[in-house]
A and B are shown apart, each in its own frame.
Chain A
Amino acid sequence: MKWPRLFLLAVVVALGAWAWIVLHPSPERRIRRQLEGVAHAASFGPNQGSLAKLAGAASAADFFATNVEVQIDVPGYQGHRLAGREEIQQAALASRASVRSLTVTFPDITVIVNADQESAVADLTLQARVAGEQEMIVQEMKVTLRKINGQWLIIKVETVRTLQ
């Protein structure tokens, strides 16, 4: 076989492998994509209409299981507990009503998929910028996910104190 044919074969094999990875993402990859979706849904820009606010809050809640638990304990602030998707949606709506804009990102994500391939834990850094606030919010979070009807949904969210 001549070199150009070998090269062509290598390119075809590489493209095939890439297509396989894209079409059949690993659980870790799917969870990362899901978390990026959460960050995107939690973010919103200024001058959103009422319908857009409602739709945004609903889409943010779609990433959570119906019986989700959220525990937020940040030093210097009052702790928050949310239970259920409904409360998540209400909280998302309330945040859209109280601040002009919010940008949420998860710059560092570590995912550990359990042996059963049905549950996983993600440690991540939450970075949030609120319009009008000088300081950026940075917080370590622990997110527990479970595969429900083929979709990875968040069942628990906890804040973690990095410095104790």
Chain B
Amino acid sequence: MTETQSRPGQARRFGSRLRILAIGRNPRTTLIRASVLAVVCVVVFKLVLLPVRVEGISMTPTYSDHSFHFVNRLPYLWHEPRRGDVVGIRLTPPDGWAAPHVMYFKRIIGLPGEAISFAGGRVLVNGRILDEPYEKGPCDWIAEPVTLGLDEYFVVGDNRSMPKEQHTFGKAERSRIVGKALL
């Protein structure tokens, strides 16, 4: 008799706990919290911290093919891009604050006004060899000096073992730099 009475009680308690777990003690508060969380997620991941998946080998070994990262748009609100930063570069001209779906993922090696060239596989900035600890593989690239404009940066991938002709690199306008790689 006791057993038959306790079973519905247990079921009620279980149902109540399940309800609390799913929608909280106060469904209205839970709904507001969920809405706020959803809005925050949309704002953060659509406008500020852009999720990117690397396609291709031009940034290996630093970033491997198919790896997942974020591009943070906030750093360049406070300061200009710096040498050595890995950045996302949009392919289409800027369209307000809208985030692009496709970006190049490259490293900045040249700053506005500098002359960049490749000789014997090394990068020369204004004729001086640039120290690049991230550059691991052998490189035989040769390229004439390119002088950057006042709003231009020179970007290139870390994988210089691949043929220069198959590697996308060069001058990027400041307005096309979306943000800095995070992680």
Give A contacts to B, CB under 8 Å. Answer: 75-76, 107-110, 123-125, 127, 135-136, 138-140, 161-164
- Whether, in the assembled complex, B73 has its beta carbon less than 8 Å from a beta carbon of chain A, the answer is no
B101–A125 CB distance below 8 A: yes
Question: What residues of B have a CB within 8 angstroms of the CB of A109 in the complex?
Answer: 92
A162–B102 CB distance below 8 A: no
Question: What residues of A have a CB within 8 angstroms of the CB of B4 in the complex?
Answer: none
A162–B101 CB distance below 8 A: no
Inter-chain CA distance A76–B162, complex, in Å, is 12
- Whether, in the assembled complex, B56 has its beta carbon less than 8 Å from a beta carbon of chain A, the answer is yes
Give the size of the chain B interface in residues (CB under 8 angstroms).
24
Known: A125-B101, A162-B104, A163-B172. A140 touches B89 (CB 8 A): no
Inter-chain CA distance A76–B14, complex, in Å, is 66
B55–A162 CB distance below 8 A: no
Known: A125-B102, A135-B56, A162-B176. A108 touches B170 (CB 8 A): no
Point out the residue from B93, B102, B176 that lies within 8 Å of A138, measured CB to CB: B102
Residue-by-residue, is B81-92 near A (CB-CB < 8 Å gives 1, otherwise 0)?
Answer: 000000001111
Question: What residues of A have a CB within 8 angstroms of the CB of B91 in the complex?
Answer: 108, 125, 138-140, 162
Q: B154-169: which residues lie under 8 A (CB-CB) from chain A?
A: 155, 163, 165-166, 168-169
- A76 (CB) vs chain B CBs: closest residue: B165
Question: What residues of A have a CB within 8 angstroms of the CB of B92 in the complex?
Answer: 108-110, 123-125, 140
Inter-chain CA distance A164–B110, complex, in Å, is 13
Select the residue from A124, A125, A136, A161 with max chain B CB neighbours within 10 A: A125
Inter-chain CA distance A124–B92, complex, in Å, is 6
Known: A110-B93, A135-B55. A163 touches B101 (CB 8 A): no
A107–B102 CB distance below 8 A: yes
- Whether, in the assembled complex, B100 has its beta carbon less than 8 Å from a beta carbon of chain A, the answer is yes
